[in-house]
């Protein structure tokens, strides 16, 4: 698709009738002009998720480009002794989102991180389980498996999903202004209940964010729900479970979802966690899939939800016994 009046500096192709787009012909190996960057931000505001193809990024330029979106999260809370992760990359801002071990080799199916990664196959938003949630995530393909094995990343349009709710339910959600408690431990246990059978998410502090809120960049209402959502504050357990189930099933209908393929190393998919959910698509396995992500802290007035502004986030690690919570104090590295 050629440039348009709305986005004259970029080659934008729509990937779905209501959200998601692809941008081609943009080399990010060197800093791009401010007007081009601001147009990328505008594309994300409209479409929620954008695939930038063959960007030319490496680890350093990936981090540098990400900083233009805002303050970056880092991996220090997970760099504990004992069950903690080793530092695979030079940059603390890079999160390992692939299926490789600390030496860069393919994880075995019985490796604790293989069990942990099953949670990535559930629709979620990054960092809703933290006191300060995330805005943008920038995921880059470094080593990709053969395309016929799968490995797409799937997305759900939670703004249009909110628009499509029954009017009575939409009215109730707005009037009640529910808060939801989010837990990374909850989503991991849902994804692999046997491996995490001894994990009790209710013993670990959860973070709380509004269920329905306005998405500032687009001024559209958004349904902020995810696999990390453990319960709705103030509702009986059965009612809370049923409401979250209803909303998740509604938001992940085929008409609100799309699957984006990875075409070549250097592809970068950028999404706004405050307007879409995502998950790892089906993957046959047996091949290295090295994916690296930066995560941008939300800078909006609702970034901290119902949590204490400035509150430290806790970390976590997985070992042969399951998932281990780490106190909310990052270590120095």
- pLDDT of 333 reads 41
Is 317 part of any domain? yes
Tell me which of 156-160, 216-220, 304-308, 315-319 is least confident.
315-319
Is 257 part of any domain? yes
Q: How many Å apart are CA 143 and CA 287, to the nearest integer?
A: 9
28: confidence class by pLDDT, cuts 50, 70, 90? very high
Average pLDDT over residues 294-306: 97
| Structure confidence by residue, pLDDT tens digits, 60-98 | 999 999 999 999 999 887 765 444 456 678 899 999 999
Is 318 part of any domain? yes
- pLDDT of 79 reads 64
Percentage of the chain lying above the pLDDT 70 cut: 94
Cβ(59)–Cβ(266) below 8 Å:
no
Residues paired with residue 291 on neighbouring β-strands, in sequence order: 141
- pLDDT of 332 reads 45
Residues in CB range of 143: below 8 A, 6 or more apart:
98, 265, 288, 289, 290
Is 252 part of any domain? yes
- pLDDT of 266 reads 97
Number of structural domains the chain divides into: 1
Is 6 part of any domain? no
Average pLDDT over residues 215-229: 97
Range of the domain at 103: 11-324
Is 218 part of any domain? yes
Q: Is pLDDT of 272 > 50?
A: yes
- pLDDT of 321 reads 75
Is 266 part of any domain? yes
1: confidence class by pLDDT, cuts 50, 70, 90? very low
Is 114 part of any domain? yes
**84: domain CATH number?**
3.60.130.10
H/E segment holding residue 240: helix 237-251
The pair of three-digit structure tokens given for residue 58, joined into one six-digit string: 């490496």
- pLDDT of 267 reads 98
- pLDDT of 86 reads 61
């Amino acid at each position: 698709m050629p440039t348009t009046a709305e986005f004259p500096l970029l080659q934008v192709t729509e990937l779905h009738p209501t959200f998601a787009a692809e941008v081609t012909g943009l080399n990010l190996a060197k800093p791009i002009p401010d007007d081009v960057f601001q147009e990328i931000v505008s594309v994300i505001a409209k479409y929620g998720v954008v695939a930038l193809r063959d960007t030319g990024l490496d680890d350093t330029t990936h981090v540098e480009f990400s900083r233009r979106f805002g303050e970056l999260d880092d991996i220090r809370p997970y760099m504990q002794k004992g069950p903690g992760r080793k530092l695979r990359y030079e940059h603390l801002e890079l999160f390992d989102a692939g299926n490789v071990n600390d030496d860069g080799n393919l994880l075995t199916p019985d490796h604790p991180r293989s069990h942990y990664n099953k949670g990535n196959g559930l629709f979620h938003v990054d960092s809703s389980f933290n006191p300060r949630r995330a805005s943008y995530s920038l995921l880059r393909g470094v080593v990709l498996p053969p395309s016929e094995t799968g490995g797409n990343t799937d997305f759900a349009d939670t703004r249009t999903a909110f628009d499509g709710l029954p009017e009575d339910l939409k009215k109730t959600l707005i009037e009640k202004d529910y808060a939801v408690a989010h837990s990374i431990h909850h989503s991991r246990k849902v994804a692999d209940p046997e491996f995490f059978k001894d994990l009790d998410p209710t013993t670990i502090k959860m973070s709380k964010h509004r269920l329905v809120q306005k998405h500032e960049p687009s001024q559209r209402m958004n349904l902020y729900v995810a696999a990390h959502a453990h319960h709705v504050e103030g509702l009986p357990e059965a009612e809370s479970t049923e409401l979250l189930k209803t909303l998740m099933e509604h938001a992940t209908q085929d008409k609100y979802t799309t699957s984006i393929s990875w075409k070549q190393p250097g592809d970068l998919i950028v999404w706004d966690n405050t307007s879409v959910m995502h998950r790892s698509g089906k993957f046959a396995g047996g091949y290295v899939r090295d994916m690296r992500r930066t995560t941008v802290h939300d800078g909006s007035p609702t970034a901290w939800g119902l949590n204490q502004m400035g509150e430290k986030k806790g970390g976590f690690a997985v070992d042969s016994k399951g998932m281990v919570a780490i106190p909310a104090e990052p270590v120095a590295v």
